[in-house]
C-alpha cells in the first residue's frame, strides 16, 4: 500500500493515473498535480474506483514542489511533466527524501538538445541520500531498453548490433498533429540525427537517412534515422555494442507540413517580438495544434515498436526481434486515450510498481536497462502491452 504523486496532466499523465488506479493494492492513494488544475480534476473525475486527489503546481518552482511533496508525503514521484522540469523535480525529491521516476530525459528550454548528462550528474546526491531515481521508464526510452536487457539476459552472451524501430500506423483524421507534446515532439525530430558505430557517434542532417521497414501486422513504412535518448544509455550500459540506431516512421503529409512550418520559421525556439510581446514561435504553434490528448476518439490503426538485435550466443551469431503492437481504438475503449500516450504511461506505472514492491532497488540515478528485466517483462502484458519475440527471424532489415 503506497502513495504516489504524478506530476503532469497531459495524455501520458492521464494514462498513468488510470493504470495506477487499476492496481489499488499497490497504489492505495493517488495525487495528480499540474500547472492547470482543471486538467487534473477532469482526469480525476474519470476514476470511479477510488478518490484521486489533485493539486496545482508550477513544476519549475522548487519551493512549491517541496511544499507539495512534504504535505502529501508520497512514496514515489512519477514525473510525466515536460522534460524541462526534470531537474527541478529531482531537486525537490532530494530535498524531501522521496524516490523519483520519469519517462524522458532533461533538455534545456533554450537549446533543442537532450542528453542524460545533467541527470546522471545527480547520481552521487541520490546515492548519498539513500534514494532511487529511475530514468526513462516510458516505451522509447523505457520498454525498448528493457527489451534489450531482456534479450541480453535470456538470449545472448553479447549484443553487437541494435536497431530500435518505432512505427505509428494510426490515423487520427487531422491534417497535422503530433502524438505527444507538440513542442517536445518537433524539437526532437528537427534536430540532427545521430547514431553510434565503431566506438563513436556520427551525426547526419535531420531526416536525411530513411528506408522502408516492414512492421509486423502493419506492413512496410518509410522509417527515418533519428537520435533518441535511449541510445545514449544503452551504449554506456552495454559496452559490447558495435552499432546502435533508432528509426521512426513519418508519413509524407507529416514531412511536408513539417518542412513548410520550418521554412516559415514556426518551429523556431528563438524568441521574437509580436505586438510588443516576446513569444516563441514553436510555443505558439503548440497552442494552435490539436491537443494530443484529444486525438484518441477517432484514432484507428496501431503502433508497432520493437528492437532488432544481432549478437552472439555460445560463440554463434544470432538474430532476434522483440516488439509490441498497440491498437489505438482498443486503448480509447479502455481509458479514452490514444496508443502513443498509452505505450508511455503503462511502463511508467509498472516501473513505479517495480520500485514500490522491491523488484527494482538500489540507490542513485539508474536507467531501466540496469535493473533485472524479467520481473517487468512478466507483468507488462497483463497491464496492456503484451510482447512478442522472434528468434532468428526470416525478415531482418539490418
pLDDT at 101 over 80: yes
Domain that holds residue 226: 143-335
Q: Which tens digits make up the pLDDT trace of 129-144? A: 999 999 999 999 999 9
Q: Please give the backbone phi and psi of residue 215, each rounded to the nearest 5 degrees, phi first.
A: -95, 135
pLDDT at 155 over 90: yes
**Which pLDDT belongs to residue 286?**
81
Query: Does 51 map to a domain?
Result: no
For the chain, how many structural domains are there in total? Answer: 1
Query: Does 350 map to a domain?
Result: no
Provide the 10 A C-beta neighbour count for residue 227: 23
Q: Which tens digits make up the pLDDT trace of 255-299? A: 778 877 888 888 888 888 988 889 888 888 888 888 776 776 889
Q: Please give the backbone phi and psi of residue 47, each rounded to the nearest 5 degrees, phi first.
A: -90, 120
Distance CA 103, CA 101 (A): 7
Query: Does 244 map to a domain?
Result: yes
Query: Does 183 map to a domain?
Result: yes
pLDDT at 39 over 80: yes
Closest by Cα among 365, 340, 68, 366 to 184: 340
pLDDT at 180 over 70: no
Query: Does 302 map to a domain?
Result: yes
Q: Which tens digits make up the pLDDT trace of 197-210? A: 999 999 999 999 99
**Which pLDDT belongs to residue 210?**
97
For the residues 305-316, what does the mean pLDDT come to?
98
Q: Which tens digits make up the pLDDT trace of 230-261? A: 999 999 999 999 999 999 999 888 877 887 78
Share in percent of the chain as helix, strand, coil (round to 5): 40, 30, 35
Span of 97-101, 123-127, 284-288, 326-330 with lowest mean pLDDT: 284-288
Query: Does 340 map to a domain?
Result: no
309 vs 107, higher pLDDT = 309
Closest by Cα among 186, 189, 170, 166 to 178: 186
Span of 180-184, 240-244, 318-322 with lowest mean pLDDT: 180-184
191 vs 344, higher pLDDT = 344
Distance CA 290, CA 252 (A): 19
Q: What is the mean pLDDT of the chain?
A: 94
Model confidence at 341, pLDDT cuts 50, 70, 90, reads very high
| Grid cell of 377 as nine digits | 517483462
pLDDT at 55 over 80: yes
Provide the 10 A C-beta neighbour count for residue 73: 12
**Cβ partners under 8 Å of residue 50, min gap 6:** 21, 24, 30
For residue 288, the domain's CATH number is: 3.30.360.10
Helix axes 143-154, 373-380, angle to 10 degrees: 120
Distances (CA, A) of 186 to 8, 181, 239, 240: 19, 9, 31, 32
Query: Does 167 map to a domain?
Result: yes
Model confidence at 1, pLDDT cuts 50, 70, 90, reads confident
pLDDT at 111 over 80: no
Percentage of residues in the chain with pLDDT exceeding 90? 79
Model confidence at 27, pLDDT cuts 50, 70, 90, reads very high
Query: Does 19 map to a domain?
Result: no
**Cβ partners under 8 Å of residue 205, min gap 6:** 192, 193
Query: What stretches of the chain show up as alpha helix (H) in DSSP?
Result: 11-21, 37-44, 62-72, 86-96, 117-120, 123-128, 143-154, 182-190, 229-237, 252-263, 281-288, 328-335, 339-356, 373-380
Residue owning grid cell 556520427:
202
Percentage of residues in the chain with pLDDT exceeding 70? 99
Closest by Cα among 79, 101, 75 to 2: 75
Q: Which tens digits make up the pLDDT trace of 56-92? A: 999 999 999 999 999 999 999 999 999 999 999 999 9
**Which pLDDT belongs to residue 259?**
77
For the residues 208-231, what does the mean pLDDT come to?
97
DSSP one-letter string for 282-343: HHHHHHHSPPGGGSGGG-BSEEEEEEEEEEEETTEEEEEEEEEEEEHHHHHHHHS--HHHHH
pLDDT at 301 over 80: yes
Asked if 383 and 349 touch (Cβ cutoff 8 Å), the reply is: yes
Whole-structure pTM over 0.85, yes or no?
yes
For the residues 110-124, what does the mean pLDDT come to?
90
Closest by Cα among 261, 325, 328 to 292: 328
Distance CA 337, CA 61 (A): 29
For the residues 41-51, what does the mean pLDDT come to?
97
Quick one: CA dihedral 74, 355, 336, 46, positive or negative?
Answer: negative
**Which pLDDT belongs to residue 284?**
85
Amino acid at each position: 500500500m503506497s502513495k504516489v504523486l504524478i506530476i503532469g496532466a497531459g495524455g501520458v499523465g492521464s494514462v498513468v493515473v488510470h493504470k495506477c488506479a487499476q492496481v489499488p493494492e499497490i497504489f492505495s492513494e493517488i495525487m495528480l498535480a499540474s500547472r492547470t488544475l482543471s486538467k487534473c480534476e477532469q482526469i480525476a473525475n474519470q476514476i470511479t474506483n477510488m478518490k484521486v486527489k489533485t493539486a496545482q503546481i508550477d513544476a519549475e518552482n522548487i519551493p512549491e514542489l517541496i511544499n507539495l511533496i512534504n504535505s502529501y508525503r508520497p512514496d514515489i514521484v512519477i514525473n510525466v511533466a515536460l522534460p524541462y522540469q526534470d531537474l527541478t523535480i529531482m531537486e525537490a525529491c532530494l530535498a524531501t527524501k522521496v524516490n523519483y521516476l520519469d519517462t524522458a530525459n532533461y533538455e534545456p528550454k533554450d537549446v533543442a538538445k537532450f542528453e542524460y548528462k545533467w541527470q546522471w550528474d545527480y547520481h552521487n546526491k541520490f546515492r548519498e541520500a539513500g534514494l532511487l531515481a529511475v530514468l526513462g521508464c516510458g516505451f522509447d526510452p523505457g520498454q525498448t531498453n528493457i527489451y534489450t536487457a531482456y534479450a541480453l539476459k535470456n538470449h545472448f552472451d553479447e549484443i553487437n548490433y541494435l536497431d530500435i524501430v518505432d512505427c505509428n500506423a494510426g490515423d487520427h483524421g487531422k491534417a497535422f498533429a503530433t502524438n505527444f507534446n507538440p513542442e517536445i515532439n518537433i524539437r526532437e525530430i528537427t534536430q540532427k540525427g545521430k547514431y553510434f558505430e565503431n566506438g563513436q557517434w556520427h551525426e547526419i542532417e535531420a531526416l536525411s537517412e530513411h528506408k522502408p521497414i516492414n512492421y509486423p501486422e502493419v506492413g512496410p513504412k518509410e522509417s527515418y534515422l533519428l537520435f533518441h535518448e535511449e541510445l545514449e544509455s544503452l551504449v554506456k550500459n552495454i559496452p559490447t555494442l558495435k552499432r546502435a540506431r533508432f528509426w521512426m516512421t513519418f508519413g509524407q503529409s507529416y514531412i511536408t507540413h513539417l518542412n513548410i512550418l520550418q521554412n516559415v520559421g514556426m518551429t523556431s525556439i528563438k524568441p521574437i517580438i509580436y505586438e510588443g510581446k516576446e513569444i516563441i514561435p514553436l510555443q505558439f504553434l503548440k497552442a494552435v495544434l490539436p491537443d494530443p490528448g484529444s486525438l484518441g476518439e477517432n484514432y484507428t490503426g496501431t503502433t508497432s515498436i520493437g528492437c532488432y538485435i544481432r549478437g552472439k550466443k555460445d560463440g554463434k551469431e544470432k538474430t532476434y526481434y522483440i516488439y509490441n503492437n498497440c491498437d489505438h481504438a482498443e486503448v480509447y475503449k479502455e481509458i479514452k486515450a490514444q496508443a502513443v500516450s498509452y505505450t508511455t504511461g503503462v511502463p511508467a506505472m509498472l516501473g513505479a510498481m517495480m520500485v514500490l514492491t522491491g523488484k527494482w532497488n538500489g540507490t542513485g540515478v539508474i536507467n531501466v536497462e540496469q535493473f533485472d528485466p524479467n520481473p517487468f517483462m512478466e507483468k507488462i502484458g497483463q497491464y496492456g502491452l503484451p510482447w512478442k519475440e522472434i528468434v532468428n527471424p526470416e525478415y531482418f532489415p539490418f
